[in-house]
Structure 1
Amino acid sequence: MRNAGLGSWPHRRARMAPKREAFTYDGSSTTYGELAVRTTRLAWRLRELGVRHGDRVAYLGPNHPSFAETLFATHQLGAVFVPLNFRLTPAEINYQLADSGAHVLVHAASHATGHPRAVSLDTYEEWLAGGADEPLDEPVSIDEPALVLYTSGTTGRPKGAVLSHANLLWNTFNLMIGVDIASDEVALVAAPLFHVAALTQTLLPTFVKGGHSVITPGWDVATCLDLVEEHGVTWMFGVSTMFADLAASPRWESADLSSVRVLLCGGAAVPDAVIRAYQDRGLVFCQGYGLTETAPGATFLEASDSVRRAGSAGTCVFFGDVRLSDVGEIEVQGPNVTPGYWNDPVATAAAFTEDGWFRTGDLGRFDGGHLYVVDRLKDMFISGGENVYPAEVENAITSHPDVAEVAVVGVPDQRWGEVGRAFVRPRDGAVVDAAGLRDFLAPRLAKYKIPVHVEVVSDLPRTGSGKVLKPALRRLPL
């Protein structure tokens, strides 16, 4: 095959195990052989809509097999896949569609936009069936862009992190080395696939090994437990909130989890109590550290160390390196690291050191070769596994006509890990109330970005140079 990228994966898998189950969704399964045919037909249909090598194809909607089909079909054409966060507001989504220059949008009926070349999942099956079966073999190099994944921008605008086919391939190798993935794996894909971890730490490695991915549209504890028992789920990825919810279920003690071999967690620090709850049940609970820009695995805590080193983010992945700068910032280098940001050379240059290491903005320490993430240089905080950048939230709040100034920080929250706390200084003579401000933000920001706590203040603490002292704000009692 001339296609060395992900677009060739369905056909490579189909010729090895055509009758093996690839995906199950809502009780219906697709084999690898069927998937190869479907992705080819979809590639032809996308080509009929004008998609060519290098063009962008976006996807908007909850988890569904069509997400993976669109990804593989896009890559068959040598085009670039742009998965969008369906939790965002229309304004946020439209910005990302425009910034990426998406030529086609495949979307759930519940997430329609005004895109001129949109394909709704309501008519997806009928539309797909009209595609040709003739094989496509577009030449694609592994160094070409495969994904553009938008991360909230520290300057108020999201940036599109580019991941090449090579980045995804090397990350898959790293994950398969860290986890002994077998061809009989049954992965539960319940975390959103627009997140890099659900896609590249679960679905793609399972796919490469010829395993079976059970896909759910979203996270639900009861559904998770049902599917684990029904399908014999062997592994899954989740964020800390998901695993905390699962352990808090009244079914936790009685649920049959005997098939589960390993659980992967990332996205935020995991409370010790949650780790212990899984270890007490004899489950292997592994953590890792990474970012969208590292595809995402930078470090991984293997099963053999999951008890002894609980709370650690593990050691460097096999094909990759991690170091600390003079100030303790975690820096990453390796074939899994992004080549840069979409159409943003300034942000790309700022993200790398002079000798080519990616700056994470996180502070860490090493202990016996194991990385511990201790703080963040950036103001970003993580709420329920979602990155929130205060600059973006502050930009939205300051667009309110009665707000003169605002500072947003992340504060601890028992359920979500962290939530936003906004300190708002009104304009002279104006009145700002918390409920009204949240109503104002509702159409402008995704719900998880809207501050839970809003404090109206007359002034903000500052440094001698006039900058707001956010550390002082974080220390204030709620």
Structure 2
Amino acid sequence: MRNAGLGGWPARRAQMSPQRTAFVLAGRSVSYADVHRRATRLASRMREEGIGAGDRVAYLGPNHVAFAETMFATHLLGAVFVPLNFRLTAPEIGYMLRHSGASLLVYDPGCAQTVRALPGPYTLVALGSPAPGEHDFETWASRGEPDPIDVPVALDDLALILYTSGTTGSPKGAMLSHANLVWNCFNMMVGVDVTSTEVTLISAPLFHVAALNQTLLPTFLKGGTSVIMPSWDAEVCYDLIEKHRVTWMFGVTTMFADFARSPRWAEADLSSLRTLMAGGAAIPVALIRTYQERGLVFCQGYGLTETAPGATFLEAGESVRKAGSAGVPVFFSSVRVARPDLTTAPVGEPGEVLIQGPNVTPGYWRDPQASAAALTEDGWFRSGDIAIMDEEGHLSIVDRIKDMYISGGENVYPAEVEEALFAHPAVAEAAVVGMADQRWGEVGRAFVVLRPGAGVAPGELTGFLRSRLAKYKIPVRFEIVDALPKTGSGKIRKSELRDRPLPG
């Protein structure tokens, strides 16, 4: 086989472990042999529609086995896969389709209204109930004998275009090569000891690089089983862990906080879980301790879409001693903390995180200016995140550069304030942003979601923080809200909070 990229994986896995279960969704199991046959049929049909090497194929819908099948079929042809956030509006999706130049779109019926509002023209493939002129995904995947496909694909060829969350301005299309994805899988298998008997719960959205490349792809590479959740639901998560004896799962802070708040937390059988892995944003130490006190191994990592995504990882053996740390650089990558002039910052000094390695993006699709701004001349990716490196080489994420604000000449990192707030027993979630102030320049404004049934008295949160933070770090406003605005990957939309008008 001349396909050195991901498109060759189903055939190789089918040869090594044909009857082993690759995916489980809603009680249906799909073997590795099934994935190979279905992906090859899909690729044959795509080729009949004119898809070839370098063309872009988009996918719009919740987590589904069809996501993986479409991705592998796309890569069999040497084409580029473009997963889209199904929670976005038609104008947002339309921008990404136009910008990527996608010519074929596979979509879930739940997204039909959005798809109908797109200007097109696109070749449309529906996972169910296709409209006139559209193709039926299941017919493509399950019928007919596929023609042999042996398209040459090199590891350095482009595999994915992943659009960033777009919390400010138009989203950028981060390009990831097959090599970027493969090296990240290697890094993951070193850090987590992924096994062929792994049962991985895919509970975060697959259009987000962490769910795709930190869990599903390493599990597929090793021949384990991925149990797919269409969307996050804490109670369904408990059911799936117990039913399938899940060993490994990834989540973001909001998911793990939600899971631990369930009435089932204390008594549920979680004995099969070998590794819990978190990322996407700094995880409050109080939340990590909640899991460790339950006897669970909770590992934090750090990365970005542009680093495919893993940059650092805290392995199980260090997860208690270094709780709250994002770990050390992954095996095949280098990470350093830099001052504004890009010289390396000394131990303990906050600076921007820079990453270099075979997992780092070659740049942004059709955006040479953004690519040049993100990559230094000697190939280090500028993350825009602030961190501190300790004397043992462990990274602690402080905040995003753009989220930091200056109050009375002092830098305030909202993540530090949010972590302190999270320690209050009534607080379920918190987000802090800077707002203009005539005297101090900027001061903090905190948005707080309370735990069910909890309440806080006026001034209680201010008093709680006084013994934990310097006075200039304590927000001057606390607003109790029902929920925080989030991106599809679970990150808080702080730009929306900054723009929110003050009450009355």
TM-score range, shorter chain: 0.7 to 0.9
Gaps of 5+ in 2: 129-135, 341-350, 406-413, 422-426, 437-486
Deviation at 1:416, TM superposition (A): 4.8
C-alpha contact (below 8 Å) 2:246/2:273 kept by paired residues: yes
The aligned amino acid for 2:374 is A
* 1:363 pairs with one of 362, 383, 386: 386
Deviation at 1:130, TM superposition (A): 3.7
Deviation at 1:25, TM superposition (A): 0.3
Corresponding residue number in structure 1 for 2:66: 66
Q: Which moved more, 1:105-114 or 1:67-76?
A: 105-114
CA distance in 1, matches of 2:312, 2:108: 34
SS in 2 for 1:307: coil
Corresponding residue number in structure 2 for 1:345: 368
Corresponding residue number in structure 2 for 1:194: 207
Q: Does 1:273 find its partner at 2:279?
A: no
| Residues 1:263 and 1:210: Cα distance change in structure 2 (over 3 Å) | same
* 2:197 pairs with one of 180, 184, 187: 184
CA deviations 1:380-400 (Å, max 9, x no partner) are 99xxxxxxxxxxxxxxxxxxx
Q: Does 1:233 find its partner at 2:246?
A: yes
C-alpha contact (below 8 Å) 2:202/2:227 kept by paired residues: yes
C-alpha contact (below 8 Å) 1:422/1:455 kept by paired residues: no
Corresponding residue number in structure 2 for 1:256: 269
Deviation at 1:129, TM superposition (A): 2.8
The 5 A counterparts of 1:385-400 are none
Q: Does 1:299 find its partner at 2:312?
A: yes
CA distance in 2, matches of 1:128, 1:182: 29
CA distance in 2, matches of 1:92, 1:272: 35
Corresponding residue number in structure 2 for 1:79: 79
RMSD of aligned Cα (Å): 2.4
The 5 A counterparts of 1:11-26 are 11-26=11-26
Corresponding residue number in structure 2 for 1:403: none
CA distance in 2, matches of 1:49, 1:147: 20
Corresponding residue number in structure 2 for 1:119: 125
Moved over 6 A (4+): 419-423, 445-448
Q: Which moved more, 1:267-276 or 1:7-16?
A: 267-276
Q: Does 1:52 find its partner at 2:52?
A: yes
| Residues 1:244 and 1:33: Cα distance change in structure 2 (over 3 Å) | same
Q: Does 1:333 find its partner at 2:356?
A: yes
CA deviations 1:412-455 (Å, max 9, x no partner) are 585455377888xxxxxxxxxxxxxxxxxxxxx98964835765
C-alpha contact (below 8 Å) 1:64/1:217 kept by paired residues: yes
CA distance in 2, matches of 1:216, 1:415: 23
CA distance in 1, matches of 2:74, 2:275: 31
Deviation at 1:24, TM superposition (A): 0.4
Corresponding residue number in structure 2 for 1:315: 328
* 2:399 pairs with one of 366, 370, 375: 375
| Residues 1:420 and 1:365: Cα distance change in structure 2 (over 3 Å) | closer
SS in 2 for 1:362: strand
Corresponding residue number in structure 2 for 1:442: none
SS in 2 for 1:102: coil
CA distance in 2, matches of 1:106, 1:454: 35
SS in 1 for 2:321: coil
| Residues 1:24 and 1:456: Cα distance change in structure 2 (over 3 Å) | closer
Gaps of 5+ in 1: 382-408, 424-444, 458-476
CA distance in 1, matches of 2:307, 2:68: 21
CA distance in 2, matches of 1:293, 1:163: 7
The aligned amino acid for 1:185 is E
CA distance in 2, matches of 1:178, 1:142: 22
Deviation at 1:90, TM superposition (A): 1.1
Corresponding residue number in structure 2 for 1:285: 298
Corresponding residue number in structure 2 for 1:396: none
The aligned amino acid for 1:188 is L
Q: Which has the higher contact order (CA 8 A, sep 6+)?
A: 1
Corresponding residue number in structure 2 for 1:393: none
CA distance in 2, matches of 1:350, 1:56: 25
C-alpha contact (below 8 Å) 2:209/2:305 kept by paired residues: yes
Count of residues paired in the alignment:
411
Q: Does 1:164 find its partner at 2:177?
A: yes
SS in 2 for 1:356: coil
CA distance in 2, matches of 1:299, 1:27: 35
Q: Which moved more, 1:164-173 or 1:119-128?
A: 119-128
The TM-score with structure 2 as length reference comes to: 0.78
The TM-score with structure 1 as length reference comes to: 0.82
Deviation at 1:155, TM superposition (A): 6.3
The aligned amino acid for 1:42 is L
CA distance in 1, matches of 2:362, 2:223: 29
Deviation at 1:17, TM superposition (A): 0.5
| Residues 1:52 and 1:251: Cα distance change in structure 2 (over 3 Å) | same
Q: Which moved more, 1:123-132 or 1:192-201?
A: 123-132
CA distance in 1, matches of 2:379, 2:155: 20
Deviation at 1:37, TM superposition (A): 0.2
| Residues 1:183 and 1:156: Cα distance change in structure 2 (over 3 Å) | same
CA distance in 1, matches of 2:404, 2:71: 29
